[in-house]
A and B are shown apart, each in its own frame.
Chain A
């Protein structure tokens, strides 16, 4: 059973471009969480999704950021018109249910130049 897979591991974008980060949860997991981490800081919650539904997006900026978890395929975190301040590591975690252990992927490191 493969772990949580995130790709790409590293992503470089110029200011104004779009960034698409993918997260394939562990097999059998229908809950996905996205977190953002700046260097030397802790993980900050962004959004919680179940299949086809956004449950909690209270940690996600209102503009330029969106997330989805379609019925088929990976969860996508999309950042439009990236700015330098978006540079960070983005981690996703998955769990089989609400009251369950969460397992993390290796993260995508986004660098905006």
Chain B
């Protein structure tokens, strides 16, 4: 079983919809949680990071971490076609330790 599980999708939603992306993990030592976005033929780019449990909001994006359930989520409000990409969750034990990634969820926002 992988340390981080993520539904690969694809997930197709109409423009303007609220998107929910999720990851579950098994290692309770993870403290830092990140979401990356990867466009086709590009390297991933950091969208958001959260330390420990709680919510964090940045524009149309909200990240949630529930450490008791070992579950993290990324919500995208008012989704746009430009949000079409693969979204990867990542987590680590400390700021200096390696990142463990989910396999990514491919999102398609249609007009």
A and B bind? no
Q: Which B residues fall within an 8 A CB radius of A?
A: none
